[in-house]
Chains A and B, each alone.
Chain A
Amino acid sequence: MRSIVIGILVVTAVCGQSARDPGPAVGSRVPDFTAVDQDGRPRSLHSLMGPRGLMLVFFRSTDW
């Protein structure tokens, strides 16, 4: 019983941490990538940049 309780606490702590702030931290450099857009064109991170940077949105899905 006790180990289950500790297990739950550990899981909560670990999830809690990633939940608050997942992904690359402020001030760090994000990984480069190439992905295909809706028109089938490969797009690199660099090609998506505006002169001052990029608003990059990660979302669940357009179909659910």
Chain B
Amino acid sequence: MELQQNLEKIRKRGLGVAAISYDSVGVLSTFAQRKGISYPLLSDEDSKVIRAYALLNESVPPGSPQFGIPYPGTFILDALGTVVSKYFESDFRQRYTASDILVRQYGERPGSTSQTVETKHLKLVSSASQTNVRWGQRIALTVDIDLKGGMHVYAPGVDGYIPIDWKIKSAPAFTPHEVTYPASQQLYLKPIHETVPVYKGRFRLVQEITLGTDEEIKPMLSKDGSLAIEGALRYQACDDRVCYLMQTVPLKWALHYDELDRQRVPPRMQRKAPSPDGDTK
């Protein structure tokens, strides 16, 4: 499980980790052993906690075995139990990964580096929050930029100059979200008495993507099961003497696609539909 792989990083931030579902203790124990899960998996068989948190998915009919599932998502709580942030997608087949949350909220180093590029003006490293992905996951792609001495590039919103711009080539296998640009610095250009928003030194751009369904992803995979994502970074760099020509750097990410784990517990342990008299046992 993706959460298990991030356990150390999450705990280093001082956070405990727990995951809760309507599975029985037996089902959770089987899963924990099979997958080597060491954090608490909590059993909420009658969905009491799910209801107390107002997360019961009411689109599931009460007679179905799936009745009692929550809207899936993640809360970050402080030590007093106050919600610091929450990550719930509006489409319930989609979910944020812990890797994405770590990059997004905590500026954590992404789990997988895709490429390193050096131009006359900068060095950049493109990465992804994780190497392996599943359908419906929301993950983060990042570009870490290190401008060479004396260089600046223009930030979005600049007037009269070409701002830095990162685009992902759209594909049916995923949906890109808005790029997150960091706060810019104001640079005073003495000769023309203008103040412009720029970036200098090191900064990071983050762009999340949400992976599509299995059917949408499968046709896009290469023979070795990897999903290629292409994009481009456009910028115009200047130093205190001269503005250089606009550059476009092609970017590429390769993510390994994991099939959904379809292994189930033995039928006697599987969840049953509640009987009509309301007895779930």
Contacts and interface: CB of A to CB of B under 8 A. Distances in A.
A51 B86 contact: no
How big is chain B's contact interface, by range?
A: 35 or more
B210 to A, nearest CB: 15
Given A19-B90, A30-B75, A39-B29, A57 B83 contact: no
Interface in A34-64: 35-40, 43, 45, 48-64
Given A23-B54, A28-B83, A36-B25, 12 more contacts: A16-B90, A22-B55, A30-B82, A33-B49, A38-B28, A38-B40, A53-B84, A57-B73, A58-B21, A61-B69, A63-B264, A63-B265
Contacts of B95: 59
Interface in B1-34: 3, 10-11, 13-23, 25, 27-29, 31-32
Contact of A38 (B25, B71, B101, B270): B25
A2 interface: no
Contacts of A35: 20, 42-44, 49
Contacts, number: 195
Contacts of B16: 48-50, 53-55
A37 B26 CA distance: 10
Interface string A9-20: 000000110111
B141 interface: no
A54 B21 contact: no
A31 B50 CA distance: 10
Interface in B57-107: 59, 66, 69-86, 88, 90, 92, 95, 98, 101
Given A24-B53, A32-B81, A58-B72, A50 B86 contact: no
30 contacts: A18-B71, A22-B54, A22-B88, A24-B83, A26-B84, A28-B83, A29-B82, A30-B77, A30-B82, A38-B31, A38-B32, A43-B18, A43-B42, A50-B79, A52-B15, A52-B78, A53-B76, A55-B15, A55-B18, A55-B76, A56-B74, A57-B20, A57-B98, A58-B20, A58-B73, A59-B19, A59-B70, A59-B95, A61-B271, A63-B264
